[in-house]
Amino acid sequence: MNSAETPPHAKRVQVPRACQRCKTLRRGCNEFRPCRRCVDAGLGDHCTPQSSMISLVMYPASPLSPLSPGGGVDPVQSMAELVPLRVIDYCAERFFARLYPTIPILTRDYLAHLKAVMASSSEWRVEAYCVLVAMCAQVLLQAEEPENLFPQGIISEKNAVYGQIILDVALATHQRIPRNVKPTFNQCLLVFFLYACQARLSHHSQAFLFLREATTLLHLLRFDHVDATFKDLAGRLFWVLLISERSHAIRYRRPITLQVTPETPELDTSDERLVGFWSLAALFRPIETSFVALLNHEIVATPPSPAAIDYVETSVNTALKPTLELHDTQKANLRVTQLWLRVIIWKLRLRLGYLSEGASQHSLTYSYPLEVAKELTLSTRDLPLDSIKVHGVGLTEKLYDIASAVVDVLARVPIAPSSPQGLVMGRSLEDDLIYIRHLITQLPSGTSTYDPLLEKQIQQALPTTEPSPADEPP
């Protein structure tokens, strides 16, 4: 028989036996309905029958229809089965306790507004629920211990696993929400939360894509069209994105798009609850386009001016007031970020040839990172470790940059000619480096990524030294 006449073999269709929730969690199931896993989680009433072929989230063809054309499942109901209100309420409390001081882009009033929208028949209910799901994902991935079990018996998965699962749901939903040339504030919020999650997972390319999407949406957002009740939140989101974009630009040599103009939302420094947030904004305000261009080795029409760099340094040094009343999480972020920016400015001056060992200004000398390391040690020893860890891998990278500069200085800065090693290797300086290394190993991605990089640099730059192990208590 001719092969062309051979009837094709029928493809075997595999019928799923697990309930929908167990399939989503990638966990074992049984033939009973409700299954034991759903019963243990208190979700027996939502256990999908064995014969169901319903996907986790089905999306409407347009935002005007809450159901798919084929009679599919309401996407809000599908998300609610995986992320019930109990999870949202718990994560919201954790957001206000751990993340709000740094990213105050949600309030309790706006949270209530989102819940009201998702419980209504509004065309924006999917978008509102997705914002809350993405918020929960960030809380679980960044603010909670990854290996701990989700509290209160709401879900039987560990925080990191469950956070990744609901992040995948938020990502899938985001891809199917119709785009509009006039984005909503909720779309801006959603994309920021997705960026924050990708950044926490060290997915650098994905994080940059979502960061760029968020800033683009904010450019298109008409602030005068935002509900007056929540216009302040839109202004805060602008500054959160400006801080995130400029921090990302420095760390990964990216361009920036958000600028401070006369139309930029003003900083309401009268609100004492946000004083730490405004201080963080003040740190990044002088990091504007021309400074980022210098960092990125851009070819510019005019040569860089030492006075321009002096202005940036002065602005960074005066951004934090010593009398501020701050949360520990704010202290950690502000202190480390300010010292990190000083090292970034020092590196730029080093590259441009603006340093001199005989300079009267310490920040213009080759050994300046050693002073930064000493100040870092003194200013963070009194802070709880959790107040530093909550900021994620971004703060780990900043500490690594400072430690890396210290290693370079120790390898190259001469002291008295009588020194056999020719290096500044005082015991106190070694202690500072040990302290920073030890701190890095306790932070996200520290042990897996940044301490090995630092160890390799130390072995190459200081082959004759034997610093104490990074896991040795400071």
In whole angstroms, give the CA distance from residue 119 to residue 65.
Answer: 15
Q: What is the pLDDT of residue 181?
A: 78
Pick the CATH number of 13-54 from 2.60.40, 1.10.10, 2.160.20, 4.10.240: 4.10.240
What per-residue confidence (pLDDT) applies to 23? 67
Domain extents in the chain: 13-54, 72-252, 329-461
Task: Tell me which residues of the chain have a pLDDT lower than 70.
Answer: 1-17, 20-21, 23-27, 30-34, 36-73, 148-153, 156, 413-428, 464-474
358-383 CB burial, b ≥16 within 10 A, e <16: eeeeebbbbbbbbebbbebbebbeee
Q: What does the pLDDT look like over 291-333, one tens digit per residue?
A: 999 999 998 888 888 999 999 999 999 999 888 889 999 999 9
Question: According to the model, what pLDDT value does residue 464 have?
Answer: 64
Task: Report pLDDT for 58.
Answer: 36
pTM of the model: 0.81
Contact, 450 vs 397, CB < 8 A? Answer: yes
- Give the integer Cα–Cα distance in Å for 295 and 293: 5
